[in-house]
Amino acid sequence: MSGRLSVVGIGPGGPDQLTGEARDAIAGARQFFGYAPYLDRLELEAGQVRHGSDNHQELARASAALDMAAEGHDVAMISGGDPGVFAMAAAVCEAIENGPPHWRALDVVIVPGITAMLAVAARVGAPLGHDFCALSLSDNLKPWTIIEKRLEACAGAGLVLALYNPVSKARPWQLGRAFEILRRVLAPETLVIFGRAVGRPEERIRIAPLREADASLADMATCVIIGSTETRLIDRPGRPPLVYSPRSSPRPSK
C-alpha cells in the first residue's frame, strides 16, 4: 500500500500554465492516466508510461489508476484545467467511495491547476471580478430541467456565469437553448465572451452582446462567460477591449 495517486491539473493550454507543484508531481510519477490529448501535452521521459483513454471513460480510467496505485506504483492522473472543476478529481473520489476498501488507504493527492474560466477571464480583463458561478451545460449526467433552473436562478440573482461543456457533437442544441433562456432574464447588450483553448496555438477569443451570441461560436474547447448587468466593456484604441465586472454593486436608491 505504498503507492500514490496524484490527480494533477495542467491548466488550459501551454506548459507555462502549470504550477511548480504540478511539474513536481509529474516528474515524480511513473504511470500516467488521462484523456489522451492531455497526455500528449506532457514531455514524458523514458520509464514514464502512458495509459491514454478516450473521453467519457472517467470512472473506468479512475479505477484503473487506483488499481495501479494499490499495486505500489507512483501514478498520475492528468486533468486539463483544474482537476476539481468538471474534471477527474470527482470521478476519482466516486471510484474510491464505490471501490474496494483498500483504495481508501491510498495516498491520494490533488494538485490544483488554472481552470478554463480563469484563463479566459484573464485574457479579456476581469469579467469574473465579482460574484459568479460555474455551470456545466452537459445533460449527460444531470437532467436538462436542472440546468435551466440554475441558469435562471444565477442570472436572475446577478451572478456572472461561466459555462463549461457548452457543446459537443452529441449535445448540439444546449448552448443555443441556454442563450434563449438567458435572453429572457438579461438585457440584450449583456456581454458574452467565447474563450477557446487559451494558451494553445488555436486560441480564439470572441466578445458579443447577448442578442448576437450564437452557439456556433463555441465548440468543445470553449468556455463561455456571460456577464451580469454590471459587466462593462472598455474600448481601447489599437488594443483589444477590456471586459470587467466591477467590484461594487450600486446601492438601491431609497
Interacting positions 235-254 with a copy of itself (CB under 8 A): 235-239, 242, 244-249, 251-252
| CB contact set of 124 (below 8 Å; sequence gap of 6+) | 193, 195, 205, 207, 240, 241, 242, 243
Cβ of residue 47: shortest distance to a copy of itself, in angstroms? Answer: 23
List 110, 192, 210, 218, residue binding a copy of itself (CB under 8 A): 110
Binding mask 159-178 for a copy of itself (x = CB under 8 A): x-------------------
Stretch of 20-28, 35-43, 64-72, 212-220 contacting a copy of itself, by CB under 8 A:
20-28
Cβ of residue 203: shortest distance to a copy of itself, in angstroms? Answer: 14
Cβ of residue 49: shortest distance to a copy of itself, in angstroms? Answer: 25
β-pair type (222-226, 107-111): unpaired
Of residues 132-151, those binding a copy of itself (CB under 8 A): 132-136, 141-143, 145-146, 149-150
β-pair type (125-126, 239-244): parallel
Nearest Cα to Cα of residue 132 among 244, 214, 218, 10: 244
List 69, 85, 178, 197, residue binding a copy of itself (CB under 8 A): 85
Stretch of 64-72, 77-85, 184-192, 201-209 contacting a copy of itself, by CB under 8 A:
77-85
Contact (Cβ atoms closer than 8 angstroms) between residue 177 and residue 166:
no
Cβ of residue 234: shortest distance to a copy of itself, in angstroms? Answer: 5
For a copy of itself, which is the closer residue by CB, 20 or 47? 20
Contact (Cβ atoms closer than 8 angstroms) between residue 12 and residue 114:
yes
DSSP annotation string for 35-99? EHHHHTTS-PPTT-EEEEE-TT-HHHHHHHHHHHHHTT-EEEEEESB-TTSSSHHHHHHHHHHHS
131 part of the interface to a copy of itself, by CB under 8 A:
yes
Q: What is the Cα Rg of the chain in Å?
A: 20
Of residues 48-67, those binding a copy of itself (CB under 8 A): 58
In angstroms, what CA-CA distances link 69 with 49, 80, 117, 230? 13, 21, 31, 48
Stretch of 28-36, 40-48, 125-133, 166-174 contacting a copy of itself, by CB under 8 A:
125-133
108 part of the interface to a copy of itself, by CB under 8 A:
yes
Cβ of residue 97: shortest distance to a copy of itself, in angstroms? Answer: 5
For a copy of itself, which is the closer residue by CB, 146 or 214? 146
Nearest Cα to Cα of residue 103 among 75, 82, 134: 75
